[in-house]
Amino acid sequence: MREKWTGELTVEQCCNRAAATRAYARYPLKLVLPSKVACSGIDAVWVYLVTYGGGIVSGDSISCKVSVGDHCTLVLTTQSSTKIYKAVQGKFSEQVFKALVAKDALLVMMPDPVTCFAAAKYKQVQHFFLSLDANLVLVDWFTSGRRERGEVWAFESFRSTNNVYLDGNPVFLDTMNLEQDVSLPISSRLQDFHSVAMLVIYGPRLSSIRKRIEERVGSQCEEAVRKKKHRSSTHGRLLCSFSSFGPSDAGLVVRVAAVETELIYDFLKQELAELSDLIGAPPYYGK
């Protein structure tokens, strides 16, 4: 149990509209709540999670607790990619996130990717507690590093945990851990790919979006494994697939890896385009 969170956010229905009734943040976290992101007619609260310096230094821990009330829609995003600076004295940079998503509520968490600098050590733990008919869109992704400086898969450690609980029961427990190892360096595991993303979709309000994502990702996946073009060039290369999870296979997890970060931005914009009807603006617009 955490004693003190660096950020706390509560969104509830107020006068028939969703509103942030609590938005607390202390250094190094800042919450920015612009009022005019969602177009009129769409009831959604948008919050930007901003860190001072655009990143997390070694030894810092950012923790955020979010509560999305009944029938509310909350979008959490970032201004740009989160930079993780090199580890000093072996200390990790850390993010902890806990969200409670109530009845018929929708939480869309669509940040920019995490970029670890050379010798960085990063771990993040994100727990999502959903009520039985709550809805969740979660994007979690990272890049190979500061490519322009020649830093490619040069961080020391990257660990990301995303756990989803439905009515208190664990339905999705995913931890991905990349650690440098002389006998199996991270770069050998990622080959020519420079960006990796995971997209989780859960909830009744998202069923038609989910169905179309499955169709498109399925045919892209088929193309990737059936065509021989990847053998001659890596240009534009993107590999994706999906799996169902949870009771009655109600959840969907999509995994993507691409040779360029831009390709995943394009992928997410395309797959999540229909979400703009629920959140009031196209995801990753302008990115």
Partner 1 sequence: MKLSRPSVTQCTGLAFRMDLPAKKSQGSDWVVWQLVDSFFPTGGFAHSYGLEAAVQAGLVSDSKSLDTFIKSTLENSGSLLLPFVSASFKLPDVAGWIELDRLLNATLSNHVARRASSSQGSALLRTAATVYPDLAELGELRGVVRAGRASGHHAGVFGIVCGLLKLDALTCQRAYLYLTLRDVLSAATRLNLVGPLQAAAMQQSLRGFGEAVVRKCADRGVEDACQVSPLLDTAQACHDHLFSRLFCS
Q: Which of 21/243 has CB closer to partner 1?
A: 243
In the complex, the smallest distance separating the C-beta of residue 21 from partner 1, rounded to whole angstroms, is 32
Q: How many residues bind partner 1 (CB under 8 A)?
A: 42
Q: Which of 187/276 has CB closer to partner 1?
A: 187
In the complex, the smallest distance separating the C-beta of residue 256 from partner 1, rounded to whole angstroms, is 7
Q: Which of 71/159 has CB closer to partner 1?
A: 159
Q: Hey, which residues between 154 and 213 contact partner 1 (CB under 8 A)?
A: 159, 161, 170-179, 181, 183-184, 188-191, 193, 196, 198
Residue type, 283: P
Piece in contact with partner 1 (CB under 8 A), picked from 75-83, 106-114, 127-135, 242-250 = 242-250
Spatial separation of the C-alpha atoms in residues 206 and 213, rounded to whole Å: 10
**Phi, psi torsion values for 241, nearest 5 degrees:** -160, 170
Q: Which of 24/165 has CB closer to partner 1?
A: 165
Residue from 243, 262, 282, 285 that binds partner 1 (CB under 8 A)?
243
Q: Which of 73/220 has CB closer to partner 1?
A: 220
Residue from 86, 127, 255, 287 that binds partner 1 (CB under 8 A)?
255
Kindly list the distances between the CA atom of residue 277 and the CA atoms of 69, 195, 250, in Å, as whole numbers in the listed order.
Answer: 20, 28, 21
**Phi, psi torsion values for 255, nearest 5 degrees:** -115, 140
Dihedral, CA of residue 131, residue 280, residue 82 and residue 252, to nearest 10: 40
Q: Which of 53/170 has CB closer to partner 1?
A: 170
Peptide bond into 28 cis (omega under 30): yes
201 Cβ partners below 8 Å, 6+ apart?
Answer: 136, 137, 209, 210, 213, 251, 252, 253, 254
Residue from 22, 215, 244, 285 that binds partner 1 (CB under 8 A)?
244
Report CA Rg, the chain.
19
Q: 280: helix, coil or strand? A: coil
Are the C-beta atoms of residues 58 and 88 closer than 8 Å to each other? Answer: yes
Piece in contact with partner 1 (CB under 8 A), picked from 17-25, 43-51, 83-91, 253-261 = 253-261
Spatial separation of the C-alpha atoms in residues 56 and 156, rounded to whole Å: 15
Residue from 253, 259, 268, 279 that binds partner 1 (CB under 8 A)?
253
What residue ranges bind partner 1 (CB under 8 A)? 159, 161, 170-179, 181, 183-184, 188-191, 193, 196, 198, 218, 221-222, 224-226, 230-231, 239-246, 253, 255-257
